[in-house]
Amino acid sequence: MIEEAARELAARGESARRVARDPVNLPMIRNWTEAIGDDNPTYEHYAPPAMAQVWTMPGLAGQRPADDPLGAMVAVLDEAGYTSVVATDSEQTYHRYLSPGETVEVSSRLDGVTGPKRTALGEGWFVTTRSTWYVGDEPVAEMMFRVLKFRPSGVAGTAIRPAVSSDTEFFWAGTALGELRIQRCGGCGRLRHPPGPMCPSCRQTRPGYVVAAGEGTVYSYVVHHHPPVPGRAAPFVVALVELTEGVRMLAELVGVPPSEVHIGLEVRVGFSRVDGELTLPVWRRR
């Protein structure tokens, strides 16, 4: 039923072209550069390429045209119970920069619908559309735009929480403050992670901690693909990192494409706040 509707909508091809309300113009460009904080002087002569879509936005009173493929597909998925939406990715390609006075037109088509997929947010369908902006018959910019239409699930975004004991609470109190803490024995000074109540070197039970510099190198790592994990979008990387202080620690490695991760990659800790009660350490490329 969903696949059938998707096939039918995709087969319709490009929608009728919709003409921008205004030609490319300096006042709107200046509103944009002022708001974004972009002082690039070239935009006194050309429109910022990232404004391509702005020219054809429907605006406050505007309506999506009846043949808009995204609107039609969203209606089908709403009907099927996939009522929530979130944009996941986009890719804009700019063939040339536009000058004030040019009038653009846009046309969209449905590229594909895939699903149902189990995602961290819930079961859903990815809807991909492609739009092309024209001046006359010349394509000047293109965009792939993908949204996830999903049925919110009970586990959506539910983070897996650590069991915290009186031996480990200092660590989690630290992450909440943006500190990466390593247990340090109050007797012999040995650093230890994961922490515990009694020092295995000197058997004293006076643990303290030091705040780590937060830098280290990847000792090993994995790229998780299956199964879906609540609160995370696969594929994601989890890395075991050797800190400069000499202990190893495990956390998600973010902001680096899996293909670029390697043993020996230099990383620095960051902190990802899940909610008021839990902040996780994460690794980022140094």
Partner 1 sequence: MTAAIAGIGATEFSKDSGRSELALAAHAGLAAITDAGLRPSDVDGMVTFTMDANAETALARELGVPELTFFGRVPYGGGAACAVVAHAAMAVATGAASTVLCYRAFNERSGRRFGQVHTPDGVDNGWHYPMGLVTPAASVAMFARRYQHEYDVTSEDFGRVAVLDRRAAATNPNAWFHGRPITLADHQASRWIVEPLRLLDCCQETDGAVALVVTTVDRARDLPRHPVVIAAAAQGSAADQFTMHSYYRDDLTGLPELGLVGRALWAGSGIGPEDLSALVLYDHFTPFVLVQLEELGFCARGEARHLLADGTLELDGRLPLNPHGGQLGEAYVHGMNGITEAVRQLRGTAANQIRDAEHVLVTAGTGVPTSGLVLSR
Partner 2 sequence: MTGIGEVLPELVIEVTPTFVISTALATRDFQDVHHDPELARERGSAGIFLNILTDTGLVSRFVTDWAGPDALVRRISLRLGVPCHAHETLRLTGRVTGHAVADGEDRWEVSVVGANSLGDHVTATVWVVRR
Residues of this chain that bind partner 2 (CB under 8 A): 28, 31-32, 34-38, 40-42, 48-51, 53-54, 57, 59-60, 86-94, 97, 233, 254-255, 257, 260, 270-273, 282, 284-285
Contact 126, 150 (CB under 8 A): no
Q: How many residues bind partner 1 (CB under 8 A)?
A: 39
Amino acid at 17: R
Please choose which of partner 2, partner 1, none residue 193 contacts, taking the beta carbon within 5 to 8 angstroms, the exact cut-off set by kind.
partner 1
Instruction: Give the residue with the Cβ less far from partner 1, 102 or 252.
Output: 252
Q: Would you count residue 227 as binding partner 1 (CB under 8 A)?
A: yes
Closest CA to 57 of 108, 106, 111, 109: 106
Q: How many CB atoms lie within 10 A of CB 244?
A: 12
Query: Which residues on adjacent β-strands are paired with residue 38?
Result: none
Query: Which residues on adjacent β-strands are paired with residue 279?
Result: 273
Please choose which of partner 2, partner 1, none residue 224 contacts, taking the beta carbon within 5 to 8 angstroms, the exact cut-off set by kind.
partner 1
Query: Which residues on adjacent β-strands are paired with residue 218?
Result: 241
Please choose which of partner 2, partner 1, none residue 83 contacts, taking the beta carbon within 5 to 8 angstroms, the exact cut-off set by kind.
none
Please choose which of partner 2, partner 1, none residue 94 contacts, taking the beta carbon within 5 to 8 angstroms, the exact cut-off set by kind.
partner 2
Q: Would you count residue 258 as binding partner 1 (CB under 8 A)?
A: yes
Instruction: Give the residue with the Cβ less far from partner 1, 184 or 193.
Output: 193
For 152, phi then psi, to 5°, come to: -60, 135
Instruction: Give the residue with the Cβ less far from partner 2, 155 or 202.
Output: 155
Cα–Cα distance, 121 to 33 (Å, whole number): 34
Q: How many CB atoms lie within 10 A of CB 49?
A: 16
Stretch that binds partner 1, among 56-64, 73-81, 90-98, 230-238 (CB under 8 A): 230-238
Q: If you ran DSSP here, which 8-state letter would residue 11 be given?
A: H
Crossing angle, helix 69-79 and helix 2-11, to 10 degrees? Answer: 170
Q: Would you count residue 236 as binding partner 1 (CB under 8 A)?
A: yes
For residues 67, 68, 74, 78, the Cα torsion angle rounded to the nearest 10 degrees is -40
SS3 helix, strand, coil % of the chain, rounded to 5? 20, 40, 45
- 177's CB contacts (< 8 A; 6+ apart) are none
Q: Would you count residue 202 as binding partner 1 (CB under 8 A)?
A: no
Question: Helix or strand or coil: residue 88?
Answer: strand
Q: Which of 64, 146, 151, 224 binds partner 1 (CB under 8 A)?
A: 224
Q: Would you count residue 161 as binding partner 1 (CB under 8 A)?
A: yes
Report in angstroms how near the CB of residue 248 gets to partner 1 at its nearest: 5
Q: Which of 238, 268, 270, 285 binds partner 1 (CB under 8 A)?
A: 238
Instruction: Give the residue with the Cβ less far from partner 2, 120 or 185.
Output: 120
Q: Which residues bind to partner 1, rule: CB under 8 A?
A: 159-165, 167-168, 193-194, 219-230, 232, 235-236, 238, 240, 247-252, 258, 263, 278, 280-281
